[in-house]
Amino acid sequence: MNKRIRELKKQLGDQLIIPAHHYQKQEIIACADIIGDSYKLAVDVSSIDAEYIVFCGVKFMAEGAAILAKEHQRIILPASNAGCPMADMISIDQAETAMQNIHEFCGQSAIPVVYMNAYGDLKALSGRYGGSVCTSSNAQKIMTHYLQNNTPVFFLPDYCLGINTARELSIPDEQIAIVRQDCTIETTGKPEDIKLFLWDGNCRVHQRFTTEHIERIRDEHPGIRVIVHPEVREQVAAAADYAGSTQYIYNTIQKAPAGTIWGVGTEYNFVSRVAADFPEKSIFPIFESHCSNMEKTTINNLQYMLEAIADDTLLLKYPDHIISVPESIRKDAALSLNNMISIVQEN
């Protein structure tokens, strides 16, 4: 860990918590107090009392922490420009229009299930309509929870996670519709039969993986097991041996016997760290794909935030790094996030 950051963490003590997403660089992970995927971070951050939460991730994650934060807490994002192209693929106006079009199309309202990789106004829409946020680790459970009530689900914004989850749940094509970015609806099924409406968004990092990458790494390493994140294309998920969240990938490889060989299809910094953590196994990226937004968090901008907290100049120097959510959005968004936690924790 950076010497000055270690000193600042000691000085600030219980006032400070640094959560970091799995996709952060190793130098940031080394400074973190909490490490995990978006679900683990949401649950862990919601239960802590530190006054300052310096979130090493991207904006929608820091917003999620701000939505669940207590009144005395401040959420700080070291890289204020760390966004998410997937989250930018749908606006609240598009989502509202899509909800109206779905109602007109099938004669009933859909429940919006909003992937964590979305901004607060989309999470609030989900809360207003009785829906829930989900993450890649719990998408199946959340989707099943609503579908078992015979209510169609509008899943947004990631088509790939949606279709890969649908395949795991054996939902046939004639019960699935795509909602394009102009809010038109495409399906081969009858309107009254549609169970799942999928927004046509995607993650650029995971779109880069192809079946050819998997074929090549299998040729290069006989006996390799391929594990991918479910934000990959449907064909890539089908060609892999396993698919799951970043936490699932980490846990699966951790539990595997020494000497096993793994090809991993997700963000490169995470794959590199898994390989370093488990040197008794052979771990390779199926393709080197970086999230440039996650990489915007650096030791320097993390240190700047801690310095400003320590000398009480945060608001003066870095107001744009303090993440807040208007109360008009926060209340409904908190409802959808808490719905997720409640559904996942059900027995």
Residue 42 confidence (pLDDT) = 82
CB atoms within 10 A of CB 190: 10
Can you list the domains of the chain with their CATH numbers? 3-82+294-325 (3.40.50.10800), 87-202 (3.40.50.10800), 209-285 (3.40.50.10800)
243 three-class SS: strand
Low-confidence ranges of the chain (pLDDT < 50): none
- pLDDT tens-place string over residues 125-162: 999 999 999 999 999 999 999 999 889 999 999 999 99
pTM: predicted TM-score of the whole model, two decimal places: 0.93
Among residues 4, 2, 6, 9, the alpha carbon closest in space to that of 25 is found at 2
- In this structure, what DSSP letter does residue 109 have? P
Residue 46 confidence (pLDDT) = 83
CB atoms within 10 A of CB 251: 12
38, 177, 228, 88: CA torsion to nearest 10: -50
Edge-to-edge order in the sheet of strand 52-54: 16-17, 52-54, 74-76, 322-323
Cα 19–55–142 angle (5° rounding)?
75
Identify whether the C-beta of residue 41 lies closer than 8 Å to the C-beta of residue 61: yes
